[in-house]
């Protein structure tokens, strides 16, 4: 085996610290784009396609699908966030913001001399701690009544729509859920 490697002349070769910084900056850049979308008061973004078509949205999943992300780390974060949306139906923007913030903290710790493996093990420990906490913190409602359903519907709809429109749809959504609900299942 030769000790010489052939590298694509157009490829960028970075040292590990530069590569780490570049990956963290990609995550922070994606976080900056998405952070103004969070919550019911999030701003609506206008996306213009190559053929001039216009989309107005504040849905993180739509933004991530429409953005042409080139950086591998940012692309991986976008795929993880859209997988969250595919499974649960919400949380795309929160997922991107959470990952971006974790990487900001990792960058700070690494700049203070903490080894990346220790940071990674700390993230794993924190994940286990959070899962235990959530398991203890969760509540199972004894009765799923219309008030609870309205609160859930209102909260969910306000993340996707303007509050006035969301409030108009709450009663219809709750009625639809009650019609299809099977009494033997929660």
Please give the Cα distance from 37 to 19 (Å, whole number): 28
Mean pLDDT across 123-141: 93
- Whole-number Å distance between alpha carbons of 153 and 159: 10
Residues pairing with 54 in the sheet: 48
pLDDT band per the 50, 70, 90 thresholds, residue 128 = very high
CA–CA gap between residue 9 and residue 83 (Å, rounded): 35
The residue ranking higher by pLDDT, 150 or 185, is 150
- pLDDT at 143 (0 to 100): 79
pLDDT above 50 for 1: no
Quote the distance between the C-alpha of residue 149 and its chain's center: 24
pLDDT at residue number 164: 87
Radius of gyration of the chain (CA): 22
Exposure of 26 by Cβ count < 10 A (0-12 exposed, 13-18 middle, 19+ buried)?
A: buried
Tens digit of pLDDT for each residue in 154-165? 988 887 777 888
Tell if the pTM clears 0.85, that is, is over it.
no
CA atoms in the 13 A half-sphere facing the CB of 79: 8
Best mean pLDDT range from 4-18, 46-60, 122-136: 122-136
* Rounded (5°) CA angle 25-30-35: 120
DSSP 10-60: TS----HHHHHHHHHHHHHHHHHHHGGG-STTPPPEEEE-TTS-EEEE--H
DSSP state of 40: T
């Amino acid at each position: 085996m030769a000790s010489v490697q052939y590298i694509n002349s157009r490829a960028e070769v970075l040292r590990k610290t530069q590569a780490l910084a570049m990956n963290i900056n990609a995550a922070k850049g994606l976080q900056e784009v998405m952070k103004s979308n969070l919550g019911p008061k999030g701003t609506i973004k206008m996306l213009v396609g190559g053929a001039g078509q216009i989309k107005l949205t504040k849905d993180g999943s739509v933004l991530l699908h429409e953005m042409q992300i080139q950086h591998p780390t940012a692309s991986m974060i976008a795929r993880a966030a859209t997988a969250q949306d595919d499974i649960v139906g919400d949380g795309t923007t929160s997922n991107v913001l959470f990952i971006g913030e974790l990487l900001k903290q990792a960058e700070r710790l690494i700049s203070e001399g903490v080894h990346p493996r220790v940071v990674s093990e700390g993230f794993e420990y924190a994940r286990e701690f959070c899962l235990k906490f959530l398991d203890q913190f969760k509540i199972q409602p004894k009765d799923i009544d219309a008030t609870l359903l309205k609160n859930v519907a209102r909260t969910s709809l306000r993340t996707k729509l303007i509050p006035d429109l969301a409030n108009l749809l709450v009663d219809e959504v709750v009625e639809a859920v009650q019609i299809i609900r099977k009494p033997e299942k929660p």
